[in-house]
Structure 1
Amino acid sequence: MTKVLVIDDDRDMCLLLRKFLERNNFEVIDFTSGKKALAWYEENMPDIVLCDLRLEDISGLEILQKMKATNPSLPFLIITGYSDVRSAVEIMRHGAYDYITKPLFPDEILVTIKQALANGEAIKNQPVKSAQSQKKTSENAPDLEFDMHEDYVVGPSQAFQQILKQVKLVAPTNYSVIIYGETGSGKEAVANEIHRHSKRAKEPFIAIDCGALSKDLAASELFGHEKGSFTGALNQKVGSFELANGGTIFLDEVANLSYDIQVSLLRVVQERKMRRVGGTKDIELDVRIIVASNEKLWNATQDGKFREDLYHRFNEFSIEIPPLRDRKEDIMHFAGYFLRITNKELEKNVTRFSQDVINAFNNYVWHGNLRELRNVVKRAVLLSDGDTIELKSLPFEITNYEKINEFIPSQPARSNDITNAATPQAATTPAVKSGSLDLKSASIDAEYETILEALKQVNFNKSKAAKLMKIDRKTLYNKIKEYQLLNNK
């Protein structure tokens, strides 16, 4: 019989759960004291734990951490009030499987318990693959699987699973959400997922890139304008907020909005009404606002770039998307997905990645995150002749990344002028290789190191690297192509 440990300082809640679970063939042990529950746990092993978020003598987080330290696969559920969903997320980040909100509903309790138990068994019974079997799996990339929540691709890493749990947690509410993440990490996809799992799912989802809005036209794009309100306003325009009425608006890179727009936005958030540019009538709004930023908005408020009162209005809930380089388990998972959709787009049949490509993908830092990975896979599929993606189809910075780390120092260059990188003081290795006095080879080596240094300084943006080295972009591409040919000889 499945043994359930219930921890809640409300005696009536313990009694209610005991009677209900026993009727459904569970063995129940309950405590109103968290410390007594921990003392019992040291000598016993439950199959699942239901723990109230707030206890009188110890926090639910501390109980979770102590129990998970001895049994990482233990299914742990949080019991919480609706007003404490943000606190529940913090505990879920530490390994809780899910949460149950008060008032409790029998069907929800049973379903959540069964799912948690199944997940715990899956973790416990997950086989440890040998190096040989891992290599075999990697080489057979057509067998790469990916999960989808409707149109949303789900990565297997624990960090990504935690993001999904947070989405599930906040989606049914009407909270404003801040999504933090680097460029290309999938902030808009997460915002869309929140919308599709909310009560507004059948209403519009409008996404706006605030970084692309010009200062002069930002107010018009967001709030609309009346005919004749400014030079060039030949017709009435409905703004993005009005288009999103009833649904969700997503403001990407919101910190880029000017101070004047932030003032107007604050009124929208506070009063749930807006006025078109040049208009005289207020328009009532029922819009959920999700914003995103690649920098912490609190830091932006301290630097005077973002209004603190607006920040607090948005900061009802936040989700942080880790960069792809910190989610190694997701790299080949998403690469496999991008491979499949690119095959459909290009009507090709590239079915796998070579082991060298897999190693290169896993060693690379992915400055552009999922967006960069998608573009690399699309390019590689286009360039591939057979059914396997090889190293020769990958960009220079990926195939040479280990050499870049070997040749280039970790500390930043002392000057912004890249020509200094070719001097003896800036070089990390001598241009003349051991046993060789070939002047042409020495010149190529020095040039090679200079280009690598330039690429590294600008995060591998080739246009910026060319400008830094005072050459045109075409010349840089020709140089890179030349080095790739030399490297593949």
Structure 2
Amino acid sequence: MSKILVIDDDVDMCLLLKRFLSKNGYEVTLAHNGKKALEELENAEPNLVLCDFRLEDIDGKELLIKIKERYPRTPVIIVTGYSDIKVAVDVMKLGAYDYVTKPLFPDEILLSIKSALQKSATKQENVATVIMPEDDSKNSTKSKTITSGQYIFSDSPEFKNILKQIDLVSPTNYSILIYGESGSGKEAIAQEIHKRSKRKDMPFVAIDCGALSKELAGSELFGHEKGSFTGALNQKIGNFEIANGGTIFLDEVANLSYDVQVALLRVVQERKMRRIGGNKDIDLDVRIIIASNERLLDAAKKGKFREDLYHRFNEFSIEVPPLRERKYDMMIFAKHFLKLTNDELSKNIKGFSPEVEAIFKTYVWPGNLRELKNVVKRATLLCDTEYIMPTVLPFEITNFTKLQFGEVSEEATSNLQVRQADPAPPVATYSAPVLPEPVFTKQLEINEHSLKGASIDAEYEMIVEALRKANYNKSKAAKILNVDRKTLYNKMKQYKQFNSDL
């Protein structure tokens, strides 16, 4: 359960927020002045702070500065009864996650809280890294990491191409399109572009478009005027206006509704916007960086995304490769997450066994860095030896390929929960688990010149290769092989029969 600290000198408002947030599954602590708030921050260690801008004993800006100095990773949402663009920009520059005005709307404040908590939880996962070439003299991969804010970079040829692109495009005002799977570090790239640009001293505002409801998306992005729709009891300043002069990052932009895309097109073309219900144009000087895990041109052809908007955004594009394509980066990430988890759990796990490193480099990681971090955290918690062993890894990772081909027995999967909860300690005679290599454990008893045998072998290799390219998505693999899904399933079933007959 997430903990929220509510800071407001209005006792009635505090109690109202406590009842509302408690009903929505949050643990709420109250503070009625700045001094009490700092004490509660230390004692309660909240996941989020909801702070009124005007308090009796301290100014909201001053309290925000103190909170961010002591607890830089704790998101702070500022609440005020005054809709002032200068105040909004100032608090965002000082590190506030969001700025909302009274009266508070339940859906609006809940959306802001959920978004802030989600972003706070994934900040450590948004990392990007590269490695140096292999050192032949030592027959090992040598890496050098460089920190940049909360992100990790390293000095190696594979990522230098992206860093060169960042250096090249950062000083410009080009709109940038970043492609990459969920959890691959797209926001890290956007942050780095902003830090290296002329706008680095202005706000950087990141929006997860996938978390915006259709009803509230326009208001969140562009703001609204008082009385512009039912429930609009006060003026709201949108994120584009808050980011004015700086950079706005729109993650998973393809999730925006068609109506919002139309309004966004005007912003990109004319650099002007209107709040919902407003009749006055607001000039914008904001750099737009967007990200997507799907090809926007393909989405445009399917009618999900406006093609003219795609062409407006596509002034410069950057590709962030998925984790499975950065095999040698894998252990840099894993060791970083291990260090963080060691600190969190007060443990001293030294590293990973060679078997675990082999498994990590073979697994396809569909969840990318987010999945890797969770696996490392879980393994560190369960580990009672100096090095993390395969016995504390999730069953679906150590048996990935077998599960894909349905080769794991029902008895083995039924015992999964028991084995995960009480892993057997490693012993001296431990042998490495079966890695995702070819499925056959025996060679087919056929003459090496047998046409049938050669055909089976070639067909099997083609299917395995297609599955790997498709990230083990059987529908995509079937398309690569130019067969239907049913044919692919039948072929995989045949291999299981061959293997059981031997």
* TM-score for both structures, normalised by structure 1: 0.56
Mapped to 2, the partners of 1:180 and 1:173 lie a distance apart of 19
CA contact (8 A) 1:155 1:334 kept: no
Trace 1:446-457 onto structure 2 (pairs within 5 A).
none
Q: Which amino acid aligns with 2:248?
A: I
1:128 corresponds, among 122, 125, 136, to: 136
**1:243/1:407 Cα in 2 relative to 1: closer, same or farther (>3 Å)?**
same
Residue 397 of structure 1: aligned partner: 396
Equivalent pairs, count: 300
Matched, 1:197 2:196: yes
CA contact (8 A) 1:255 1:305 kept: yes
* Cα drift, residue 347 of structure 1: 2.4
Trace 1:361-376 onto structure 2 (pairs within 5 A).
361-376=360-375
CA contact (8 A) 2:405 2:492 kept: no
Mapped to 1, the partners of 2:181 and 2:135 lie a distance apart of 33
Mapped to 1, the partners of 2:225 and 2:402 lie a distance apart of 58
* Cα drift, residue 258 of structure 1: 1.4
Trace 1:37-56 onto structure 2 (pairs within 5 A).
none
Mapped to 2, the partners of 1:406 and 1:355 lie a distance apart of 25
* Cα drift, residue 207 of structure 1: 0.9
Residue 110 of structure 1: aligned partner: none
Mapped to 1, the partners of 2:244 and 2:171 lie a distance apart of 17
Mapped to 2, the partners of 1:339 and 1:362 lie a distance apart of 16
CA contact (8 A) 1:325 1:369 kept: yes
* Cα drift, residue 434 of structure 1: 6.9
* Cα drift, residue 228 of structure 1: 2.2
CA contact (8 A) 1:206 1:249 kept: yes
Deviations 1:186-205 (A, max 9, x none): 11111111111111111111
Deviations 1:363-385 (A, max 9, x none): 10011111211221122222222
CA contact (8 A) 1:180 1:292 kept: yes
Residue 496 of structure 2: aligned partner: 429
DSSP 3-state at the match of 1:429:
helix
Residue 102 of structure 2: aligned partner: none
* Cα drift, residue 150 of structure 1: 4.4
CA contact (8 A) 1:207 1:250 kept: yes
Q: Which amino acid aligns with 1:429?
A: K
Q: Which amino acid aligns with 1:238?
A: I
Matched, 1:338 2:318: no
Deviations 1:336-372 (A, max 9, x none): 1111122222222222011111011001001111121
Mapped to 2, the partners of 1:128 and 1:425 lie a distance apart of 40
Deviations 1:233-276 (A, max 9, x none): 23222111111111110011111111111110011111212111
Q: Which amino acid aligns with 2:145?
A: F
CA contact (8 A) 1:179 1:318 kept: yes
Mapped to 1, the partners of 2:491 and 2:162 lie a distance apart of 48
**1:350/1:222 Cα in 2 relative to 1: closer, same or farther (>3 Å)?**
same
Residue 241 of structure 1: aligned partner: 240
Mapped to 1, the partners of 2:499 and 2:157 lie a distance apart of 47
Q: Percent of aligned positions with the same letter in both sequences?
A: 60
Residue 377 of structure 1: aligned partner: 376
Trace 1:204-219 onto structure 2 (pairs within 5 A).
204-219=203-218
Mapped to 2, the partners of 1:403 and 1:145 lie a distance apart of 35
**1:251/1:310 Cα in 2 relative to 1: closer, same or farther (>3 Å)?**
same
* Cα drift, residue 145 of structure 1: 5.3
Residue 387 of structure 1: aligned partner: 386
Mapped to 2, the partners of 1:160 and 1:424 lie a distance apart of 39
DSSP 3-state at the match of 1:207:
strand
DSSP 3-state at the match of 2:342:
helix
Alpha-carbon RMSD across the aligned residues, in angstroms, is 3.1
Mapped to 1, the partners of 2:184 and 2:302 lie a distance apart of 25
Mapped to 2, the partners of 1:318 and 1:422 lie a distance apart of 37
Residue 117 of structure 1: aligned partner: none
* Cα drift, residue 232 of structure 1: 2.2
Mapped to 2, the partners of 1:266 and 1:144 lie a distance apart of 43
Residue 357 of structure 1: aligned partner: 356
* Cα drift, residue 431 of structure 1: 11
Residue 175 of structure 1: aligned partner: 174
* Cα drift, residue 163 of structure 1: 1.2
* Cα drift, residue 407 of structure 1: 4.5
DSSP 3-state at the match of 1:335:
helix
CA contact (8 A) 1:156 1:333 kept: no
DSSP 3-state at the match of 1:249:
strand
Deviations 1:410-459 (A, max 9, x none): 57379xxx9xx999994742599679xxxxxxxxxxxxxxxxxxxxxxxx
DSSP 3-state at the match of 1:173:
coil
Residue 320 of structure 1: aligned partner: 319
Mapped to 2, the partners of 1:390 and 1:298 lie a distance apart of 44
CA contact (8 A) 1:209 1:252 kept: yes
Matched, 1:254 2:253: yes
CA contact (8 A) 1:215 1:258 kept: yes
* Cα drift, residue 146 of structure 1: 2.7
Mapped to 2, the partners of 1:157 and 1:368 lie a distance apart of 24
DSSP 3-state at the match of 1:241:
helix
Where does the alignment leave 5 or more consecutive residues of structure 2 unmatched? 1-131, 408-462, 468-473, 479-484
Q: Which amino acid aligns with 1:369?
A: N
Mapped to 2, the partners of 1:219 and 1:129 lie a distance apart of 58
CA contact (8 A) 2:143 2:154 kept: no
**1:239/1:431 Cα in 2 relative to 1: closer, same or farther (>3 Å)?**
farther
* Cα drift, residue 214 of structure 1: 1.1
Mapped to 2, the partners of 1:377 and 1:286 lie a distance apart of 42
Mapped to 2, the partners of 1:380 and 1:232 lie a distance apart of 48
**1:246/1:189 Cα in 2 relative to 1: closer, same or farther (>3 Å)?**
same
Mapped to 2, the partners of 1:322 and 1:424 lie a distance apart of 31
Trace 1:113-192 onto structure 2 (pairs within 5 A).
127-129=135-137, 133-134=139-140, 146-155=145-154, 158-192=157-191
Deviations 1:15-52 (A, max 9, x none): xxxxxxxxxxxxxxxxxxxxxxxxxxxxxxxxxxxxxx
Where does the alignment leave 5 or more consecutive residues of structure 1 unmatched? 1-121, 138-142, 436-489
Q: Please identify the structure whose Cα radius of gyration is greater.
A: 1
Q: Which amino acid aligns with 1:359?
A: A
Q: Which amino acid aligns with 1:396?
A: F
Mapped to 1, the partners of 2:263 and 2:491 lie a distance apart of 55
